[in-house]
Amino acid sequence: MGMEEEIDDFIAVLLTEHGLSKNTALAYEKDISQFAAFATQRGRGGWQDVQREDVAAWTTALSDAPPLRHSSEVPATAAKAPAIRQPVNARTLARKLSALRTFAKHLVATGVRRDDFTALAEGPRTRRPLPDTLSEAEVGRLLEAPPLNTPHGLRDRAMLELMYGSGLRVSELCGLTLQSVDLEEGFLRVLGKGAKERVVPVGRKSIEALRNYLSSPGRPFFVRKGTGSALFLSERGVALSRKTFWVHLKGWARDAGITRPVKPHLLRHSFATHLLAHGAGLREIQEMLGHADISTTEIYTAVERKRLVELHAKHHPRRAMRVG
């Protein structure tokens, strides 16, 4: 396949297999096509020819915006992408690089390339404070803390699984109704900020926890006369409040041996960071989190880089070598 055909194949995968919206897929296509045009101008005839230095040169060009011109010999892929006429800001650069990284992983997964040509690419530095996250091991202990033999344990286990498994805000979690959940299809309809509704996937563990909670002695234990359609109920048979959930969360964190403060948003941050670490694209994470601006999501790339640096410093055999 040529460069354009590979991009079209990738976009089809995003739409059909990943279920991304058309607008999100088109944004991917625009950013990747722009890089394809740039690589073509550097003499690359196909994706197998692209080198890591092409990515570095592209990010430099995006930042410095030298006047690039298309020649009559540039193929259709390049024609679809505008020349770089003016510098882009750090947020836009991070978004473009994220799109290219996701595409490069697709090329490796489909056998087009043996290596990821974006592996060492550096994005723009951020000055925003990094959100705190739990490790995957800490999350595992926390999710298993509520017992499965009590109504309260079943409820809290389902809430924790769902918050981490779908990246919900605590207000979204507590605002869920029975009608919000489709366990057969594996998704939730969530009402987020600005009353914007989005659809988020529900993982196997979350579905299992929800089924257990919806059965006796779970949610039926909390139902009272006049109870409405709220999914997660308190002792009074009404929707569990955010404050009460936070109190319960702190208790389960102590039981899990987590000594630092654990707030509800920590599970949302952990959801995004762990997805990124396991290969999810930034735009997919943006959609699931319900961020209006991708710059809000970009902070998790810095979290993952920091984790890798710390992992190297802790485990590399030459970490303690002295100079001189």
- The lowest-confidence range among 70-74, 232-236, 313-317 is 70-74
Among candidate residues 113, 219, 268, 274, the one labeled active-site is: 268
Instruction: Look at residue 258 and tell me whether its pLDDT is greater than 60.
Output: yes
Give the C-alpha distances (Å, rounded to integers) separating 25 from 28, 37, 96, 121, 212. 5, 18, 13, 22, 36
- Among 103-112, 118-127, 191-200, 308-317, the minimum mean pLDDT is found in 308-317
- pLDDT of residue 33 exceeding 50, the answer is yes
| Res 121: pLDDT | 74
Residue 157 · residue 261 · CB < 8 Å: no
Task: Give 9: exposed, middle or buried? Use CB within 10 Å, 0-12, 13-18, 19+.
Answer: middle
Question: Phi and psi (nearest 5°) for 123?
Answer: -90, 180
Q: What is the pLDDT of residue 287?
A: 84
Q: Alpha-carbon distance 19 to 25, whole Å?
A: 10
pLDDT of residue 89: 80
Catalytic annotation present for 268: yes
Higher pLDDT, 191 or 168: 168
Average pLDDT for 307-315: 60
Confidence of residue 66 (pLDDT cuts 50, 70, 90): very low
Beta bridge partners of 189: 199
Select the more confidently predicted residue: 69 or 199: 199
Phi then psi for residue 233, to 5 deg, are -110, 150
Helix, strand or coil, per DSSP, at residue 198 = strand
- The catalytic position among 224, 243, 265, 306 is 265
Annotated catalytic residue 169: yes
- Known catalytic residue: 70? no
Taking 60 as the threshold, does the pLDDT of residue 209 lie above it?
yes
Average pLDDT over residues 12-21: 84
Tokens of 28: 């991917």
Which residue intervals of the chain bear CATH 1.10.443.10? Answer: 136-311
Architecture of the domain delimited by 136-311: Orthogonal Bundle (1.10)
Which H or E run contains 25? helix 22-41
For residue 12, how many C-alpha atoms fall within 13 Å in the half-sphere facing its CB? 6
The enclosing H or E element of 272 equals helix 264-277
Q: Containing H/E element for 209?
A: helix 204-214
Q: Which one of 96, 155, 169, 274 is the catalytic residue?
A: 169
Q: Is 213 a catalytic residue?
A: no
The CA distances from residue 161 to 51, 109, 187, 249, in Å, are: 41, 29, 14, 12
Query: Token pair for residue 40?
Result: 């073509």
Q: Which of 22, 193, 211, 306 is catalytic?
A: 193
Q: How far is CA 204 from the centre of its chain?
A: 18
In this prediction, residue 2 carries a pLDDT of 64
Of the listed 101, 106, 157, 291, which one is catalytic?
A: 291
Find out whether 241 and 234 touch, Cβ atoms under 8 Å. yes
Q: What local confidence, expressed as pLDDT, does residue 127 receive?
A: 53
Does position 168 have pLDDT exceeding 50, yes or no? Answer: yes
pLDDT at position 19, please?
76
CA distance 22 to 33: 16
Residue 77 near residue 11 (C-beta atoms within 8 A): no
Q: What is the pLDDT of residues 170-193, one digit of tens each?
A: 999 999 999 999 999 999 999 887
Among the residue ranges 26-35, 67-76, 270-279, the one predicted with the least confidence is 67-76
The DSSP H or E segment spanning 248 is helix 242-255
Q: How confident is the model at residue 214, as a pLDDT?
A: 97
**35-39, 140-144, 319-323: least confident range:** 319-323
- Measured distance CA(249)–CA(145) in Å, rounded: 10
